[in-house]
Each structure stands twice: as structure tokens, then as C-alpha cells.
Amino acid sequence: MEFVYPPVIAACKTLFRALDMRLDLRGTEHVPTSGGAVFACTHVSYLDFIFCGLAGLPAGRRTRFMAKKQVFDNRISGPLMRGMRHIPVDRSAGQGAYQHAVTALRSGELVGVFPEATISQSFTVKSLKTGAVRMATEANVPIVPVTVWGSQRLWTKGHPKNLTQRHLPILIRVGESFQPTPEDDLEAQTADLHTRLSALLDGAQRDYPDSPKPGEDPFWLPAHLGGTAPAPEPITA
């Protein structure tokens, strides 16, 4: 029995309705209805774990996200994060969080990770860490690519948060899962994940129904779409 996660989900949905947020969630048929899986999510805002977590709900799944330890140390967010059984990551001792995640996957949980490690300020997919593929391989579970677009308009790195915007479109896209294997090259599989996430994000950007208003700073658009976001960092292997 879980006492924290359900009311948090209900509170988020109530807020979405109050703001008349336009949530567009597609691809949930790719979420496994049972067994462990890695949710590998793009990262454009501080709120992405909320929207990525919505992708598991139609399949009756709750996602346990890996998040930096400081969030768990906060007196307000900490009890909520622990109550929802999310996984703290101490970057000075990351192996413990990794093993925690692998154990959760083997026990049948969905584990959410942000393989870019930090928010992409260019709003394109950054170079990925190999952890998502490594833990999926070790736990023998699939990876499910997930992308969110529009959340950066609420709260992203380098810009003040604006959490009361009404009628804001948020697009969530879930891609086909794939099963990494120990026989396959780790870097090649991580590059494959990057390709899948980039395709999902490109599709969400094409589908997005809003554009900057006249005189508005298009900070939330990547440079290749005419925005003022910084140019992407070079992709490294």
C-alpha cells in the first residue's frame, strides 16, 4: 500500500485542471504493463519528472525516479520523495544509487532516469551517460524512451519560473521500447538511445501548437527553430 504517491498524483492533476493545461500524451501503449523497465527521459526543465511520470499511469505504473540527493535533503520535498520511493543519487558515491536502481528494476519497478544528467539549455538532446543502458542490461529489462516538450516554459535553468501560466501545451511522447543486451556495444546502444530520443523530441517540437508571441523572448525554442536558446554542445561518444 502506498500512502504518498497517489495523493501527489491527484494534487498534480488538480493543478493541471486549474491551469487548464493542455496535456498531449501519446505512445503509452509502449509502456510495459508489468515487469521492470528503464524510463529514459529527455531533460528540459526542473519539472520533467512530473510529466514523464504521467506516461506510466495509463498502464497502471508508478515511476521511481533517480534524483540528486539534495532534493531528498530538503525538509519539504525530502519526505515526499522518500514516500514515493524515488532513488537518491549522491554524485560523489553514485554506485550505491546505481545498485539501488538495478535492484528496483529486478523487482519489477519502472525506474526513471535522465541520461543527459543535467538540463539541456539548448533544448536539444545532449550527450548521454551510459548508465541507463548499463542498468537495463544488468537488470535484463527494456528501455522506454520518453520526451517532454513545453515544460521548459514553466521552469528551466537560467530563467525565472512561471508556474501559473494558463492553457500551456505540454507534449509527452513515449517511444518503442528496446532491449539492450550484454553482447551489444555499450556506446553503440547509448548512441541508439540518443537517436531515439532526438527523433521523439523533434516530433514533439513539430507538433507543438504554440509559437512565441510578437515581442516575446523565444528563450524556450532551440536555435535551429529560431529561438534564443544557446547552441547545442558537441555530441561526444
pLDDT digit string, tens, across residues 151-188? 999 999 999 999 999 999 999 999 999 999 998 899 99
Q: Look up the pTM and report it.
A: 0.95
Q: Tell me whether residue 94 is in a domain.
A: no
Q: How many domains are there within the chain? A: 1
Q: Tell me whether residue 68 is in a domain.
A: no
Dist. CA 159–CA 177, nearest whole Å: 33
Q: Tell me whether residue 6 is in a domain.
A: no
Instruction: Identify the pLDDT of residue 237.
Output: 59
Domain ranges, residue 146? 20-61+108-225
Q: Tell me whether residue 114 is in a domain.
A: yes
DSSP conformation class of 115:
T
Whether 48 has a pLDDT exceeding 70, the answer reads yes
Q: Which amino acid is it at 168?
A: L
Q: Tell me whether residue 176 is in a domain.
A: yes
**All three cell numbers of 148:** 517532454
Q: pLDDT tens, 2-11?
A: 999 999 999 9
Identify which of 149, 133, 147, 123 has the alpha carbon closest to the alpha carbon of residue 191. 133
For the chain, counts of helices (H) and of strands (E): 7, 7
Q: pLDDT tens, 192-206?
A: 999 999 999 999 999
Partnered with residue 144 across adjacent β-strands are: 39
